[in-house]
Structure 1
Amino acid sequence: MHYILLQDSSWATFIGRFHPAIVHFPIGFLLIGALLELGRRWGKIAVSEGTIVFILFWSAISATFACVAGYLLSLTGGYDADLLNNHMWKGIGVAVFAWAAWFVKSDRFERAIPSIKVIYLPAILIATLLTLTAGHDGGALTHGEGYLTQYTPEPFRGLAGLPPMEEKPTEIKPIADVQQAVVYSDIVQPILQAKCTQCHSASKSKGDLRMDQLALLAKGGENGPAFVVGKGAESDMIKRCLLPENDDEHMPPKGKPQLTTDQIALLSWWIDQGASADKKVSQMTVSEAVKPALASLGKEAPAGTGAAQASAVLSVKVPKANEQAIENLRKTGLIVNTLSQDQNLLEISAVNLPDFTDKQMELLQPVAQQITWLKLGGTKITDAALQQIAKFPNLSKLHIEHTGITDKGIAAIKPLPYLEYINIVDTKVGDEGLKNVAGMKALRSIYVWQSAVTDSAVSQVGRQNPNLLVVNGFNEAAVAQFLKAGDTTGKEEVKKQ
């Protein structure tokens, strides 16, 4: 019972997560102590016995705290049991032998038991060796087995008896004939290997989830199934990818290589089509929305796939934004990306700044000409912000979902010549606002579900504007279109300035 309470305690998790930081103290203290002792015995340096005793004392104290924090961290689960057990006992050994070395070195004990000093050198030596081996196991637990030796170069690799280096895939390799590709093995599995299996494999299964085998992926982890066959939008592995990157539940974790929008679209499509292990692309229904993602896998598009229409704004030439202006934006917490190495157009996102307000819109004015993708969803902006946004002449994609904007505000952006994507999900924009912007020449898609827009207005606007996609629900086609046209922060081809 006490174990269960401890395991479920947020305090245990809080303290446990300090283990990677605390563990550096005994490592440093023990290595310094061992080197000083070695230098003193060789006559290379002059150091007092008291100094070494002091270092050994704090190495023992910090090793003990590291053991406690490490144990609490282990309760969160998701680690290889055998490797964790080895790491734990080696860590305990470090603490025990560090205390033994300090005990022997202390004058009071050495005077009381003179013969005990013979165990001093073995104790400090064993503690140091255990520190190094425990550190190796810790690296394997955190980053996967073989993490520290993965890139060992030749000839040392052969001398150490390591197998030839295997190149870890970082992207989907081009497929000669996409139509004949087996969807799971040729498309899905390479995505998972590149972005997911570092934390979800045999050597490390965070959340008790393994994604290196289809059967284990289907089984799921401690939070239940990773996917729901036939329902990509309801599958946990898709929903987590769509969360803001700073969300604790977002996967892959912040700082890790993120899935591209095309990759998420392909995973969602595979799940929607039944998550088959052996079906080829030609045997599955390929929607118009997922065709561009499939086309990106090879040099040529699959049969019947047309080239995706390029955004007109990408032909616009603008001067490079002022570096100080960009730095000022980043200091506020805004994410600023440039679209490519040879483009000066910018993407600005407030995904990490939910308290962003109308007043802070003034910060964007120095880069008004360069802004083409603007993400202010979930912030505190109102209609007043739309008056400022209307002054961004090259804006092509606008996220203002989950904000307080209304019909009056949305009308202000109607003159924007390149605006092709608008997300007004969960806003007060209604039928009048939709009809006001529906006639915009460049507009291709607008997402309106959970807003004040009615189904009848969606139908009417759809009939009057056949080239405009108005999404008032979150079905299969909407998911793929949303992934393709919407959120792009973290996309591999986006180059940070």
Structure 2
Amino acid sequence: MILLTAAEWMQYLGHFHPVIVHLPIGILFVSFILELVAWKQNASAILKHSIEISLIAGFFSAILACVLGWFLGQEGGYETNTLGWHQWMGIGVAAIAGLAWLMKKKAAVPKVYRFVLMLLFLLLMITGHLGGNMTHGEDYLTAGMPQPVAGWLGIEAKQDSLTGRKPVTDINEAYLYKEIVQPILSEKCYSCHSSKKVKGSLRMDEEALLFKGGKHGTIILPGNAAGSELVKRLSLPMEDDKRMPPKDQPQLSKEEIQLITWWINAGADTKKRVKELQPDSLVMPLLKSFAGVKTADTVVRESLSTVFEETPPAPDQKIIDQLVSKGIIVSPVAQQKHLLEVSCINFTGFDNNMVSLLAPLADHIVWLRLDNTAITDEAMGGIGKLRKLVRLNLAGTKVSSNGIEALKNLQYLEYINIVNTRVDDRGLLILSNISTLKNVYCWNSMITDNGITVFKKKLPEVRIEAGDKRP
């Protein structure tokens, strides 16, 4: 049996601070009420004794809250100045609560005692306010204040949509990170991860700090959205405690998550313009919707897959519920079409034996994400039977060219990601027989420059991303 270290115990016990901290608040507030009653009436001995008990109980519970609060503060992730004031104010509350108890017990001069009690009440309010600032942000008292009161006080409405973003006049010339990605992060993430509040030791309001990550490590892996903690957290179910943003905060839309995912997969560059990243036919309309304008295209727009013209019957909800219960994300990709995206990004334990679970949805799945799962070539036979697949992500799996053989009859496949797989030139040659193909991502695979050259001769219009392997 391995015992926890002192530091581990401190980290664990610190999580009880938000629970314990309400004890001194409630107990001391009771003492204030009792003192008001005693002030208006001739206080009996019983009432005096009750006030003394409340004050001493508030004193000891405040000390306990201070200790646990100090443990919690050692984890980091809080604005230093606010944390310092909060800690010292909390110590002040405990000290003055003890002083008030002594004064009450010794029957000190009433006016002096009442002044100390009022000071205690003031400190309690300020300490609680500072704690709220660290936990919920500096605007937690004013956010959502109804009009016209907010207007009278000069409080601007909190932004929670795309309407407040600076218009983009030419989407192709726009800097993707600065003009599109960063505004999304600003609206939905900065309230918890900026200079005003640094939750989880993560700041996202500065480029260098965004890529540095937080206490759990980096959150963005350029070229690997599936392995990026940011995308994983954004894709978790709403009820999951690790989901970001938390369910009580403004959420990113599905389109915003898709855009950030594409940006990371494209290299997470912060300097390039949209046209330099060559967005495909699925991403370009998405970018235009964020820009909120219609502009002349300098990027050729490809037609939407004909699979979206089909309208299969509604899928069996029991099958979907079975997948969701395992942590698999199932979501519609087109309204009233019954076409689905299935993502195992948060269920890396998905293996060959589970592919059969997808079979009943063969007429519905058009986007499938199996990146970083445990599948091998053995699973590819089942995946090849999902005849309506348009987008398939196999990055980070043990799939080889033998498995790619099972995909040759997919008549709608436009996008495939085989990054960090065992696929070689033979697998790429097999893919060149799929006439609908438009995008191939294959860096860190076993594909060579010669294989890419042969592929491009057969399908010159296909965009192939292979890192430094560029013919």
TM-score (normalised: structure 1):
0.70
- Per-residue deviation, 1:11: 5.8
Task: Look up the match of 2:324.
Answer: 330
User: Cα RMSD between the aligned structures?
Assistant: 4.6
Measure the CA separation in 2 of the matches of 1:345 and 1:56. 64
> Do residues 255 (structure 1) and 253 (structure 2) align?
no
- For the structure 1 residues 178 and 384, does the alpha-carbon distance in structure 2 shift closer, same or farther, using more than 3 Å as the test? closer
Task: Look up the match of 1:422.
Answer: 416
CA contact (8 A) 2:170 2:295 kept: no
- For the structure 1 residues 458 and 182, does the alpha-carbon distance in structure 2 shift closer, same or farther, using more than 3 Å as the test? closer
CA contact (8 A) 1:401 1:427 kept: yes
- Per-residue deviation, 1:317: 1.0
- Per-residue deviation, 1:208: 8.0
Task: Look up the match of 1:175.
Answer: 168
- How many equivalent residue pairs? 438
CA contact (8 A) 2:432 2:455 kept: yes
What's the secondary structure of 1:348's corresponding residue? Answer: strand
CA contact (8 A) 1:136 1:148 kept: no
> Do residues 165 (structure 1) and 159 (structure 2) align?
no
CA contact (8 A) 1:372 1:396 kept: yes
Deviations 1:5-60 (A, max 9, x none): 99xx66655554554454345445555776788899999xxxx9899888777655
> Do residues 384 (structure 1) and 378 (structure 2) align?
yes
Measure the CA separation in 1 of the matches of 2:51 and 2:324. 47
Residue type of the alignment partner of 1:255: M
- Per-residue deviation, 1:411: 0.9
Deviations 1:127-179 (A, max 9, x none): 565444333322222333222212222454467xx323244253245435557
1:464-475 residue pairs with structure 2 within 5 A? Answer: 464-473=458-467
Measure the CA separation in 2 of the matches of 1:403 and 1:180. 36
1:18-97 residue pairs with structure 2 within 5 A? Answer: 18-27=16-25, 60-77=59-76, 79-97=78-96
What's the secondary structure of 1:68's corresponding residue? Answer: helix
CA contact (8 A) 2:195 2:203 kept: yes
> Do residues 289 (structure 1) and 279 (structure 2) align?
yes
Task: Look up the match of 2:353.
Answer: 359
Measure the CA separation in 1 of the matches of 2:269 and 2:228. 24
CA contact (8 A) 1:347 1:371 kept: yes
CA contact (8 A) 1:200 1:206 kept: yes
Task: Look up the match of 1:348.
Answer: 342
1:101-180 residue pairs with structure 2 within 5 A? Answer: 110=105, 113=106, 130-157=123-150, 162-168=153-159, 170-171=161-162, 172=165, 174-176=167-169
Task: Look up the match of 1:230.
Answer: none
Residue type of the alignment partner of 2:140: Y
- For the structure 1 residues 435 and 338, does the alpha-carbon distance in structure 2 shift closer, same or farther, using more than 3 Å as the test? same
CA contact (8 A) 2:31 2:55 kept: yes
Measure the CA separation in 2 of the matches of 1:273 and 1:247. 16
1:135-284 residue pairs with structure 2 within 5 A? Answer: 135-157=128-150, 162-168=153-159, 170-171=161-162, 172=165, 174-176=167-169, 187=180, 190-205=183-198, 217=206, 220-221=208-209, 239=222, 242=225, 244=227, 254-256=243-245, 257-258=251-252, 259-262=256-259, 274=271
Measure the CA separation in 2 of the matches of 1:180 and 1:164. 35
- For the structure 1 residues 444 and 42, does the alpha-carbon distance in structure 2 shift closer, same or farther, using more than 3 Å as the test? farther
Measure the CA separation in 2 of the matches of 1:18 and 1:248. 29
Measure the CA separation in 2 of the matches of 1:375 and 1:82. 44
Task: Look up the match of 2:239.
Answer: none
Measure the CA separation in 2 of the matches of 1:356 and 1:202. 39
Q: Which deviates further from its counterpart, 188-197 or 366-375?
A: 188-197
Measure the CA separation in 2 of the matches of 1:365 and 1:61. 62
Paired-residue identity, %:
33
Deviations 1:441-493 (A, max 9, x none): 22212222222222211111111111222222179x9xxxxxxxxxxxxxxxx
What's the secondary structure of 2:126's corresponding residue? Answer: helix
1:457-468 residue pairs with structure 2 within 5 A? Answer: 457-468=451-462
Measure the CA separation in 1 of the matches of 2:136 and 2:222. 24
Which ranges of structure 2 fall in alignment gaps of 5 or more residues?
A: 236-241, 246-250
Deviations 1:414-449 (A, max 9, x none): 212222111112222222222112211222122222
- For the structure 1 residues 269 and 245, does the alpha-carbon distance in structure 2 shift closer, same or farther, using more than 3 Å as the test? closer
